[in-house]
């Protein structure tokens, strides 16, 4: 083992080595997006560089936003840092409710930083392509029979909004 003199020499050598090392700053890209968005509607997202203490760091250059999932990412998908924050105004358009990953990527000084967050994309309740109305009539034993069914599709669920049945001529006259 070491004697006291050898131990002190090793400690002094380590201190001299540590004194010549530069402190490394750890940094990471932080993305902020809504958990849930509506297909085709614009929403805001932002990205910023944070140090290991969670403080916003000065950064220059651009951040690229991409969508990893079905559908299309639209709007401004490239944003420059301003006061440490890159701000986006984008939309995701899908044909059916889905989930995917929104990814921000930033490259600086040969290093690439990225973060991906899960986003649920829902179809809005006022989506005209999701509404269907059907009306048909027939005669049963000489009595007119009219039935109207209105169906809407919202977030992959089927709703029957109205159901009207006419069982007699007088009932039909009251409804007209």
Q: For 94-127, how does the pLDDT look when each residue is reduced to its tens digit (9 = 90+)?
A: 999 999 999 999 998 888 999 999 999 999 865 4
Residue 67 domain-assigned? yes
Give the domain extent around 94: 26-122
Give the pLDDT confidence score for residue 65 in this predicted structure.
97
| Domain co-membership, 109 together with 150 | no
71 and 44 in a common domain: yes
Residues 65-93: what's their mean pLDDT? 95
Say what percent of the chain tops pLDDT 90.
45
* pLDDT (average), residues 8-17: 52
Cβ distance 32 to 45 under 8 Å? Answer: yes
Q: Which residues on neighbouring strands pair with residue 14, listed in sequence order?
A: none
Longest CA pairwise span in the chain (Å)? 116
One domain, residues 132 and 114 = no
Same domain, residue pair 98 and 161: no
Instruction: Examine the pLDDT at 176 and tell me if it is beyond 80.
Output: no
98 with 34, same domain?
yes
End position of a domain, from candidates 122, 139, 156: 122
- Strands of 78-80's sheet in order across: 36-38, 111-122, 98-108, 62-68, 78-80
DSSP 8-state secondary structure symbol assigned to residue 39: T
pLDDT digits (tens, 9 = 90+) for 29-59: 999 999 999 999 999 999 999 988 889 988 9
pLDDT at 27: 81
Domain count, the chain: 2
Residues 132 and 116 in one domain: no
For residue 150, what pLDDT is reported? 45
Question: Does residue 143 lie in a domain region?
Answer: yes
Looking at the fold, whether 103 and 138 belong to one and the same domain comes out as no
Residues 71 and 39 in one domain: yes
Q: 2: pLDDT confidence band, cut at 50, 70 and 90?
A: low
Whether 81 has a pLDDT exceeding 50, the answer reads yes
For residue 95, the Cα-to-chain-centroid distance in whole angstroms is 15
Residues 93 and 161 in one domain: no
Residue 92 in this model has a pLDDT that exceeds 70: yes
Q: What is the pLDDT of residue 7?
A: 52
Domain boundary among 122, 138, 158: 122
Count Cβ atoms below 10 Å from residue 43 Cβ, excluding itself.
17
Q: What is the DSSP letter of 21?
A: S
User: 15 lies in a domain?
Assistant: no
Specify if 16 maps to a domain.
Answer: no
Q: Given 122, 137, 154, which residue is the final one in a domain? A: 122
Do 55 and 82 share a domain, yes or no? yes
CATH assignment at residue 110: 2.60.40.10
**Looking at the structure, do residues 31 and 116 belong to the same domain, yes or no?**
yes
User: At residue 169, does pLDDT exceed 80?
Assistant: no
Can you count the helices (H) and strands (E) in the chain?
2, 12
Residue 151 lies in a domain: yes
Residues 94 and 58 in one domain: yes
């Amino acid at each position: 083992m070491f004697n006291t003199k050898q131990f002190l020499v090793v400690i002094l050598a380590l201190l001299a080595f540590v004194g010549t090392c530069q402190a490394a700053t750890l940094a990471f890209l932080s993305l902020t997006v809504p958990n849930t968005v509506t297909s085709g509607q614009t929403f805001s997202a932002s990205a910023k560089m944070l140090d290991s203490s969670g403080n916003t760091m000065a950064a220059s250059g651009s951040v690229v936003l991409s969508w990893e999932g079905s559908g299309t990412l639209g709007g401004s998908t490239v944003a420059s840092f301003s006061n440490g924050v890159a701000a986006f105004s984008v939309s995701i358009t899908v044909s059916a409710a889905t989930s995917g990953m929104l990814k921000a990527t930033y490259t600086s000084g040969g290093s690439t930083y990225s973060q991906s967050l899960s986003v649920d994309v829902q179809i809005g309740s006022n989506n005209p392509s999701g509404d269907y109305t059907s009306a048909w009539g027939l005669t049963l034993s000489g009595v007119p029979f009219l039935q109207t069914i209105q169906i809407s599709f919202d977030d992959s669920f089927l709703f029957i909004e109205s159901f009207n049945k006419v069982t007699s001529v007088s009932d039909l006259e009251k409804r007209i």
